[in-house]
Amino acid sequence: MRILTRFILLRFLGNFFLLFSLLFIFAISIDILIQWETFVSSAARIESAKSGVDKGASILSVATLILSFHGPRVFQFYQYMMPLVALAAMGFTASAMLRTREFVAMMAVGISMRRAVFPIIMGMGVLCLLQVANQELILPRLASRLLLEHGDMVRGAVRTWGIGLASDSQGRLIHAASFDPATETLTGLYAVERTKQGGVVRRIEAPQAKWSAEKRSWILVNGRAGVPTRPADVPTGERPSVFLDQPIELLQTDLDPDTLRLRQNLLYAHMLSLSEIADLARNSAFDPTALRRFATGRFASLLVGLLVLAISIPFFALREPAPILKQAVSCAALSLPILLTSMIVIALPLPSFPPTVGVILPVVFLLPIAVWRIATIKT
């Protein structure tokens, strides 16, 4: 039995990684064809910057740049495509066993059909564990590189963007001319501390500020702070002014670089580990409800993929021969809409349900269906 389990498991995993590799190569090939001129020009500028001589790009430099740009994206591709590719790998594995009458041979020696398809479900469990490791250990380290666009290849970092009056949990308004995510530096910082009624208490300005993870604060360069003049001290017809006469070195706020990245690009949240999401939910000004949805949705999506696979297996786990094309079409017609609808429900908040309840609804709905489908396999 161990030999049989290992044989089916390795066949399923082999089909998965073969299909995954083909899909990934196909996807990046399309991108390379569309962005070929961008890759060539970027490689030429990188070579010119290194040698100091303006020359064209070599094939090796272009290939190196393509590998550097698309290499980390294999882990992101796995994050999004694993359930769908696993479903296809199950179809190829089980249909081959149906076509070659392997299921019939196993039942002839007393092996039940449910026992025969158990290694495929076990293989899906292995892929789910790899997904957890990918999300917790690999993607957080590659997050900054995965956010790069084709125009950022020369710089090797995401382009800067401005911060327009972002509010933190203390009601402070923070503005910056630009934020560099590579160096975690703000340029042209302007912060306003306010009362609950919206009145200005203090104003802080600094030409530059760099984030300190140890102090959980922005270290200000030539930072100055000041309080507005009282209305009684202002001559009639003039507006109150602020005298920036107090030096300040630190600005403590929960608008840290991760929160600023999340405000700019929500895709960044999918690349954070659960511990990083928990820290942001406790300390950042970002909506903690959305972060909880991201965290819960990760496990829900894995369970949905496993349950959809269990629902689809009976299309191929048959005692007698059947048209494989018909079974494959029936399987796709049922499983793909269920999988896509479940992922949409997990990703989008439902107004009538609490955040975490709405995320696990597909799991609650699919679990009895999957149990019923496996239990009714004829064996």
pLDDT of residue 261: 78
Euclidean distance between CA atoms 202 and 195, whole angstroms: 10
Q: Which residues of 167-177 are buried (b: 16+ CB within 10 A; e: fewer)?
A: ebeeebbbbbe
pLDDT of residue 234: 44
SS3 (DSSP) at 150: helix
Euclidean distance between CA atoms 260 and 178, whole angstroms: 11
Euclidean distance between CA atoms 91 and 329, whole angstroms: 10
The radius of gyration computed from the CA coordinates of the chain, to the nearest angstrom, equals: 28
Contact 225, 248 (CB under 8 A): yes
Contact 191, 230 (CB under 8 A): no
pLDDT of residue 266: 62
pLDDT of residue 302: 93
- Stretches in the chain below the pLDDT threshold 70: 1, 51-56, 154-158, 198, 229-244, 265-267, 280-288
Contact 45, 154 (CB under 8 A): yes
pLDDT of residue 314: 92
pLDDT of residue 235: 47
- Burial class of 200 by CB neighbour count within 10 A (0 to 12, 13 to 18, 19+): middle
pLDDT of residue 244: 60
Integer CA distances (angstroms), 137 to 83, 113, 286, in order:
19, 37, 23
Question: Would you mind telling me the total number of residues written for the chain in this entry?
Answer: 379
Euclidean distance between CA atoms 319 and 83, whole angstroms: 27
Euclidean distance between CA atoms 286 and 263, whole angstroms: 8
Contact 64, 39 (CB under 8 A): no
Handedness of CA 300, 305, 308, 309 (dihedral sign): negative
pLDDT of residue 239: 53
